[in-house]
Amino acid sequence: MLTHGQIWTAIDRLAERYGLTASGLARRAGLDATSFNRSKRVSPDGRERWPSTESIAKVLNATGASLGELVSLIDQGDAARGATVPLVGWKDAGAPPHFSPDGMPSGETWSEIEFPEVGGERIFAVEVSGSAHAPVYRDGDVLIVSPTAGVRKGDRVLVRDASGTVGVHELVRRTVRTLELKGLCDDNDSSLPLAHTDYVARVMWCKQ
């Protein structure tokens, strides 16, 4: 018997096989980026939501995978899944309404990605968009960042200023009043008053 968990696990595995997150797979298939969110797989009243045959057909067409390939991923069984963390797009990372005061994504505008716990730190993922940080980070790379982890000289940090501008920099020094930063690609130094900084999140890992 095919179970609800097996079909969703197979979709997650198909995304991983093609180097995508669940939200990335949905976008490639022409669906809403949140279509495959774990929060969307069960309705508010507890009913299981199954992917439609149309969604599955679009996924297979977008990846070039065969129905047999998807079925083979179902046949692998219902392996235990890892922990998930919020995944936001680059544009959303600069949108204060989507974040709580502690620097974590809030609401339902974000998707999810599997990632293990990192020493108890609070973490979320940001999908890089554009070429502003190339060749260090390319379009589609996923950064795992933590707004609660301590930062030291030489760490790469995701910084959002009061205007909503988001960028990744190398931390040169942090004082009681300013952040001194260095660009990843151009080595240009900059100084940002902490009073004009919404958050600083340490880059913990990058999925390329």
pLDDT tens-digit readout, 161-191: 888 888 999 999 999 899 999 988 877 889 9
- Whether pLDDT at 47 is above 90: no
What domains can be seen in the chain, in order of their start residue?
4-75 (1.10.260), 84-207 (2.10.109.10)
Nearest C-alpha neighbor of 88 from the set 110, 107, 68, 72: 110
Sign of CA dihedral 97, 100, 102, 105: negative
Distance CA 180, CA 168 (A): 13
pTM (2 d.p.): 0.61
Q: Which tokens is 38 given?
A: 């774990």
Of residues 17 and 58, the one with the higher pLDDT is: 58
Q: Is 120 a residue whose pLDDT tops 70?
A: no
Main-chain phi, psi angles of 42, to 5 degrees: -135, 130
Mean pLDDT of 32-58: 85
Q: Let me know: does 113 contact 84? Beta carbons within 8 Å.
A: yes
Per-residue confidence (pLDDT) for residue 80, from 0 to 100: 43
Distance between first and last Cα of the chain: 36
Average pLDDT of the residues of the chain: 82
